[in-house]
Structure 1
Amino acid sequence: MTARQFGVKLSARGATFRLWAPAAKRVDLLLNHPHPMERSDDGWFTADIAGAGAGTRYKFRIDDEIDVPDPASDFQPDDVNGPSEVIDHARYQWQASDWRGRPWHETVLIETHVGTFTREGSYRAMIDRLDHLVETGITALELLPLADFAGQRNWGYDGVLWYAPDSAYGRPDDLKALIDAAHRRGLMMLLDVVYNHFGPEGNYLGRYAPTFFTEAHTPWGSTIDYRVRQVRDFAIENALHWLRDYRFDGLRFDAANHIVAAPGDVPVLHELSEAVGKLAEKTGRHIHLVLENGDNVASLLDPAEGPPNGKYRAQWNDDYHHAWHVLLTGEAQGYYGDYPAPLTALVRSLSSGFVYQGETSTFWGNRPRGEASGHLAPAAFVNFLQNHDQIGNRALGDRLETLAGSKPIEAALAVTLLAPMPPMLFMGEEWGSKAPFPFFCDFHGDLAEAVRRGRRSEYGWAYARYGSEVPDPLEPATFQSAVLDWQSISSAAGQARLTLVQRLLKTRQREIVPRLADANFDQARAEDNGLLTARWVMGDGMALHLLANLSSTEISRAVKPGRQQERGSPIWGGEPGDRLPPWSVFWRLEG
């Protein structure tokens, strides 16, 4: 990658403003008065302005017809339709200047939404909760997307100005202060980025750069055409922007199966990983790239590759979540219908990563889904019981805590938090929060009504059953209901759950993490009565064993001749007897 092309370039004498607008005949830079920009043959418009610098606000006027913000704006103080503001990233004085990150095998993630993580809903307010995360045993804080979106309330997946952290949460320096504070506490910071579509309001690229898009569509908007060199550079430069200018330790790529390029072309994901690898090598930092990819493409993953060189550390393992959800709730609608035997699916995931490794998926259009994944290290799979999608895409936004009993959930946590795969919690899950996380946004007019109609169409059964109880995504009260209920952490149930999670993560840090490098899958099996066993070979040659009763009834095990106890040293649950209580979990290490 060459130097950044998009956005404003600062110099000692002023600033150079650039816009790629191949379909425009004329572009004027709007400051105090219009400044005609010079056009080159490749569609770039430039203007050098002496004296311009940090704080300068500007827009672009296209063909005397429409005024637009910079698509690579560093900040939008007045939302997506307002002027862009020049930010000098070199001005920020980093306190954790020697931070180089942490290796991937130490990862314990928590996924958060800035606007609902605290009552204030700001970057700065999150700082006050970082000590809680460290005390819990979290090592990596992941933020839902920050790219500037229309309005004041949004999950973040409707971002249209990819380089600008949304002003609803604070200014760029506030975000840097959060990241700096996290690093001083030993916390990694990851960011969710969306390179498969633009949001429905505030994206003007189609007017002056129509080749940004193809005629095809994703479920959320026009398909981005990564065959175009400038389009590809726009995404790659954006990834480097978050990692370099904000010092995020990694990125999670939303719906990577909708990030496409021409057949036979070098995939943009491969090129992006290589570019990030060069940054990591140059700076000596640990940088982690993680995918969400419904296609289960195992060949994209390599958790040991360092620095990145075309591959990705890990993938969110939806299969693992779906198996547990069906097991714990009995729900079978939608994609859960692909997991009719959840315990069998869980065995597949614990023994080789993905559940779907080429088998035909009904929900995915009766087509084969996935690739063989058992050869990969367990570190390639981020496992979780809840996340923003699996809660928020429910009609009521209700959490697992309201759908299943506490004992089954605690058993699922005991498996998830001690298995060799990197675990992830959703904010508040560590104390069993019941605060919903419904879908919310802040659109107006026809777009707002279109969102309402879409939700009613998708969740018609829920509206028929619950009526007005289904939250209106446009109402401020829906957003307010999602604000995390920190007060519930002090309840007896909250304290008990938090203590359990802390103990599990301390055990993980002491017994599992030192052995994770070079760990491998081995085997797992389940019986019809709910008895589950699994085994992994750890990097130091030890074998990690799991024994669990994942049922609501006691299981009696046949006594084997000469067996006095399980081989190895228990690290969780003590010595299992011949009668396993319902929802009991036992871990041990054998050397």
Structure 2
Amino acid sequence: MIILNSNKRATGVTFDISGVASVVLWAPRAKRVELLIPGKDKTISLIGKELGYWTAETRDLQSGDLYFFELDGRRQLPDPASLSQPDDVHGASQALDLSSFEWKDDGWQQYPLKDYIIYEIHIGTFTPEGTFAAAIEKLDYLVDLGITAVEIMPVAQFPGNRNWGYDGVYPFCVQHSYGGAEGLQSLVNACHSKGLAVILDVVYNHVGPEGNHLEAFGPYFTEKYHTPWGNAINFDDAWCDGVRRFFIENALMWFRDFHIDALRMDAVHAIKDFNPIHILQEMRQNVDLLMQQTGRRHYLIVELDLNDPRFINPINKAGYGMDAQWIDEFHHALRVASGQERTGYYSDFDGVRSLAKSYQDAYVYDGAFSEHRKKFFGMKTENAGEQFVVFSQNHDHVGNRMLGERTSELVSFEMQKLLAGAVLVSPYLPMLFMGEEYGEKSPFLYFVSHTDPELAEEVRKGRQKEFEAFHMEGEAPDPESEETFYRSKLQWESIEREPHRTMLNYYKELISIRKSQPPLRIPNRREVSVEHNTESKVIVLRRRHGTHEVVCLMNFSSREQSVEMPADASHWYKLLGSSDLKWGGSQEMPGQVSSGSALVLSPESITLYTNQYE
């Protein structure tokens, strides 16, 4: 097992307090390595060490200087562990001293994971300016909304200025056009000052195609396995230890040098590792050591498409020790329950029946036969509710639609309110996608800015092929077009108009109720019961904490439906009715109802009652 010195990054260029640069490069196949500083006309020879590492210490390289590595006298290449690429992915690396940033978050207290209410943003489209500095100006808005954690889509340097972030090619480098390393540090500092945790989306399952020079330095990839993006990262083949160390160092850097609170690791089911100690477990163990040294708590959250609780089980129970995972199946079930099409992988889901199962069991497929996959899939999980992240939309399920339509363009105003409520009353961690809280109408499209014409054309063709399984007609918007990118930016002026203002206030009220009602605030799966009716398309979800209970009545049908109130409370008191007039509805739900009485639910509505009036 690899245990790293968590006090300091041990790859790339770092500086000590006297200004001496320490240079570490992993290049196991090289015979000679030199560091070139073009601005000073300096060449520094590195010394070969064991296990393929090359090192040097010098005062010639200073923070702000541009530099290249040259291997065996051949072409000059940027640093694989570059912290800054001011001249894009093919240009020189820039040395930075990350320790020079003045942090002001000593008083920051990380939230327990159960208190996370997550808001996912893409820096480039979150504001007109598309920078970290501009995002800081929106933090008060998020606090007022009730958000406790901001999730930032990947910021590792990618080619050009337009990208979702999953084509990053320098894992240690913060996108220059967003504001670079200092810009991200400033954003985290500002978030902590306002009581917001920060989750950073990172990609450890592949590296983007343009500007990816890793293979020139060493066997970062293996032909043993393939992913949707090409050869897999080498986590278990020959020379894998240097690769594993590289990515563990990366995770530690975000926590230590950028004060990130949690990492969301993209599609970990695409990480191939048959070592006795999985790379995720090794990351967990190194992060645990860092936390012991710093006293700060950090979470590891994974996107996972395997319905395998081994990933989120603790290490002492033969798991990998991840703190939480996204569950797409909740989203799929919710989407089908709302009446949207059942094409592609959505064909496996059966509306309210699947949604009710996800409320109860987290995974919809926990050993059942999946017709879409043509196999029995998944296994049961007893993990705590706080280990699952749910949503009605996210960057994938909006942006991977051919036209990038948000839910606000696909369902009615009333159904949008129901979907929001369905997420926020769940016994899991809720996540919002930027703009959904006010019914943003602009699409979130797939966009890139590759400079290689052949690669750009491959991306266009790939997008068209992707939608064949969904039987989509027409052509996808050009991912390379600037217009595609600008169309995807949030239209903040919308919140001053109806019905967006009402929707925003509705979300605020929902979030406030979740925070103030213990049965909703505490994601305890053991005190959840759920009933559903496939004919009426009604779900009755009951959440309890001790004697305190909240009952959530959801009508996914387009007609009024009658339900009987639970009989184990003398009276039920309304917390919220999405059909109420104040939320743009047409039917005021009663403020108090008796035990066992019949209640008529408005079409496409959610109503919340509690047995304790406070």
- The TM-score, its normalising length taken from structure 1, stands at 0.93
Aligned with 2:324 (options 314, 317, 332): 314
What SS does structure 1 have at the residue aligned with 2:258? coil
Aligned AA (1:332) = R
Aligned partner of 1:277 in structure 2 is: 288
1:63/1:367 CA distance change after superposition, 3 Å: farther
Give the alignment partner of residue 505 of structure 1, picking from 492, 496, 511. 511
Equivalent-residue separation in structure 1 for 2:570 and 2:446 (angstroms): 47
**Cα 1:464/1:219, change in 2 over 3 Å:** closer
Give 3-state SS (helix, strand or coil) of 1:74's partner.
coil
Tell me the CA shift for residue 456 of structure 1: 2.2
Q: For residues 564 and 194 of structure 1, what CA distance do their matches in structure 2 show? A: 49
Q: Is residue 2:571 matched to residue 1:550?
A: no
When the two chains are superposed, the root-mean-square deviation of aligned CA atoms in Å is 2.3
Say whether residues 1:29 and 2:49 are aligned partners: no
Maintained 8 Å contact 1:356/1:369: yes
Which position in structure 2 is the counterpart of 1:106? Answer: 115
Among 203, 209, 212, the residue aligned to 2:218:
209
1:206-254 deviation digits (Å, cap 9, x = unpaired): 1230254343210012101212211111111101101110001101010
The 2-side partners of 1:523 and 1:504 are apart by 20
Distance change >3 Å, CA 515–CA 449, structure 1 → 2: closer
Correspondence for 1:2: 4
Kindly provide the CA deviation profile for residues 459-506 of structure 1, in whole angstroms up to 9, marking residues without a partner as x. 358997334xx3100011100101111111111111000010001111
Of 296, 304, 311, which aligns to 1:293?
304
Q: Secondary structure at the match of 1:534?
A: strand
Aligned partner (choices 428, 433, 451) of residue 426 of structure 1: 433
> Residue 369 of structure 1 is aligned with which of 377, 394, 400?
377
Structure 1 residue 219 corresponds to structure 2 residue 219: no
Q: Report the alpha carbon displacement of residue 584 of structure 1 after superposing the two structures with TM.
A: 2.7
How many residues get paired? 579
1:386 correspondence with 2:393: yes
Name structure 2 gaps, 5 residues minimum. Answer: 578-590
Q: Output the CA distance in 2 between the equivalents of 1:559 and 1:133.
A: 35
Does the alignment pair 1:410 with 2:417? yes
Partner deviation per Cα, 1:117-161 (whole Å, 9 max, x = no partner): 000000000011000000011111000001111111100001110
Distance in 1 separating the partners of 2:278 and 2:96: 31
Question: Match for residue 583 of structure 1?
Answer: 604
Letter in structure 2 aligned against 1:43: G
Q: Residues 343 and 470 of structure 2 are in contact (CA less than 8 Å); yes or no, is this contact kept in structure 1?
A: no
Corresponding letter in the other structure for 1:235: F
Match of 1:165 in 2: 174
CA distance, structure 1, for counterparts of residue 543 and residue 309 of structure 2: 19
> Partner amino acid for 2:11?
F
The answer for the alignment partner of 1:187 in structure 2 is 196
Cα separation, 2, equivalents of 1:189 and 1:578: 42
* Structure 2 CA distance for aligned equivalents of residues 235 and 49 of structure 1: 25
Q: CA–CA distance in 2 between the matches of 1:155 and 1:328?
A: 27
- After superposition, where does 1:423-462 map in structure 2 within 5 Å? 423-444=430-451, 445-459=453-467
- The AA in structure 1 aligned to 2:334 is W
CA–CA distance in structure 2, aligned partners of residues 200 and 537 of structure 1: 49
Residue 205 (structure 1) shift:
1.6
Q: Give the structure 2 partner of residue 325 of structure 1.
A: 335
Distance 1:137 1:513, change over 3 A: farther
Q: Distance in 2 between matches of 1:249 and 1:92?
A: 17
Shift of the 554–151 alpha-carbon distance from structure 1 to 2, 3 Å rule, reads same
When residues 559 and 329 of structure 1 are mapped into structure 2, their CA distance, relative to the original with a 3 A threshold, is closer
Percent identity at matched positions? 36
Aligned counterparts of 1:291 and 1:15: Cα–Cα separation in 2: 35
Do structure 1's residue 535 and structure 2's residue 548 form an aligned pair?
no
Q: Is 1:156 matched up with 2:168?
A: no
Q: SS of the counterpart of 1:45?
A: strand
Work out whether residues 351 and 534 of structure 1, in 8 Å CA contact, stay in contact via their aligned partners in 2: no
Is this contact kept in 2: 1:105–1:513, CA < 8 A? no
Q: Which sits farther off after the overlay, 457-466 or 204-213?
A: 457-466
Q: Aligned letter for 2:280?
A: L
Give distance in 2, aligned partners of 1:564 and 1:225: 57
- Work out the CA distance in 2 between the residues paired with 1:336 and 1:464: 14
TM-score (norm 2): 0.89
SS at match of 2:160: coil
Change (3 A) 1:379 1:209: same
AA aligned to 1:580 is: L
Shift of 1:569: 4.7
Does the Cα contact within 8 Å between 1:74 and 1:85 map onto a contact in 2?
Answer: yes
Q: Which runs of 5+ in 1 are unaligned?
A: none
Cα shift readout 1:2-27 (whole Å, capped 9, x = no counterpart): 22331113122521212111122222
Report the residue type matching 1:282 in the other structure: Q
CA contact (8 A) 1:320 1:384 kept: yes
